[in-house]
């Protein structure tokens, strides 16, 4: 991947002044970095959601934040399909559970099932109907030019992954919980949501408030020494 995903590839390079950056004193940088870390350390994936409504305007701002993510050649190859309609959520649950039953019964290896065991997951996915919102995230494998020719999209999976990370952080910052759900395969999402052939499902985010008494797995995260190397 290129070092700077923000660099576009237009027909002519037309730079403009950087006016959005504000240099901070080092102490303020430390405080902000520490506060943001503390905020995200409280984030946990939940699988038990309240049906309490979440304002659409909150999601819209979180999605705008996701859309600010860098992308290969600035092609912004993501599409966020936000589902609140109960009938559509019911269809998505049916499609996901069908794939999940196949996964747990036949496709998953014993090693894979053992890795999932501490999370307490199974093929039953009631949260897909319980939560007020589902966000189906797609990436564009290619785009079609007006003349019908296909144009390659550069780093679509990488770029969409970065945007998804922005979105998860924004949702948590706004006081919401989410679950990253990836039934495999996910082609049923294209059919249910009427998405075009050039879009591929990336992840299904379940978004809302945690249900009263929601339980979470007793798991920990790796320390910085295990995930980072300074040279």
Instruction: Name the residue range of residue 144's domain.
Output: 52-211
User: Quick check: is 28 in a domain?
Assistant: no
User: Quick check: is 38 in a domain?
Assistant: no
Question: pLDDT by residue (tens digit) across 169-188?
Answer: 999 999 999 999 998 899 99
User: Quick check: is 200 in a domain?
Assistant: yes
C-alpha distances out from residue 66 to 31, 70, 115, 141, 192, Å: 24, 9, 30, 19, 24
Omega into 185 within 30° of 0, i.e. cis? Answer: yes
pLDDT of residue 183: 86
Question: pLDDT by residue (tens digit) across 86-122?
Answer: 999 999 999 999 999 999 999 999 998 999 999 999 9
Question: pLDDT by residue (tens digit) across 21-77?
Answer: 999 999 999 999 999 999 999 999 999 999 999 999 999 999 999 999 999 999 999
Contact (Cβ atoms closer than 8 angstroms) between residue 207 and residue 58: no
Instruction: Give the mean model confidence (pLDDT) for residues 223-231.
Output: 97
> In b/e form, how buried is each residue of 163-177, taking b as 16+ CB within 10 angstroms?
bbebbbbbbbeeebb
Task: Give me the chain's average pLDDT, please.
Answer: 94
User: Quick check: is 15 in a domain?
Assistant: no
Contact (Cβ atoms closer than 8 angstroms) between residue 115 and residue 136: no
Question: How many domains, in total, are found in the chain?
Answer: 1
CATH number of the CATH domain containing 141: 3.40.109.10
User: Quick check: is 1 in a domain?
Assistant: no
pLDDT of residue 126: 97
Give the whole-number percent of the chain exceeding pLDDT 90.
Answer: 87
């Amino acid at each position: 991947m290129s070092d700077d995903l923000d660099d576009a590839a237009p027909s002519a390079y037309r730079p403009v002044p950087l006016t959005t950056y504000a240099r901070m004193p080092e102490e303020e940088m430390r405080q902000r970095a520490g506060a943001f870390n503390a905020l995200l350390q409280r984030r946990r994936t939940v699988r038990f959601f309240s049906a309490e409504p979440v304002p659409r305007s909150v999601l819209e701002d979180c999605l705008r934040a996701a859309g600010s993510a860098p992308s290969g050649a600035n092609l912004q190859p993501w599409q966020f399909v936000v589902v609140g309609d109960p009938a559509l959520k019911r269809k998505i649950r049916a499609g996901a559970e069908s794939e999940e039953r196949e996964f747990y019964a036949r496709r998953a290896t014993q090693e894979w099932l053992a890795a999932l065991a501490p999370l307490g997951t199974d093929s039953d996915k009631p949260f897909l109907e319980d939560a007020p919102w589902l966000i189906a995230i797609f990436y564009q494998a290619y785009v079609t030019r007006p003349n019908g020719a296909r144009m390659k999209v550069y780093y679509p999976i990488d770029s969409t992954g970065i945007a998804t990370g922005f979105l998860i952080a924004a949702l948590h910052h706004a006081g919401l919980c989410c679950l990253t759900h990836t039934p495999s395969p996910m082609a049923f999402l294209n059919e249910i949501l009427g998405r075009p052939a050039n879009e591929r499902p990336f992840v299904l985010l379940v978004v809302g408030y945690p249900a009263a008494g929601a339980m979470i797995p007793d798991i920990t995260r790796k320390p910085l020494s295990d995930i980072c190397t300074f040279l």
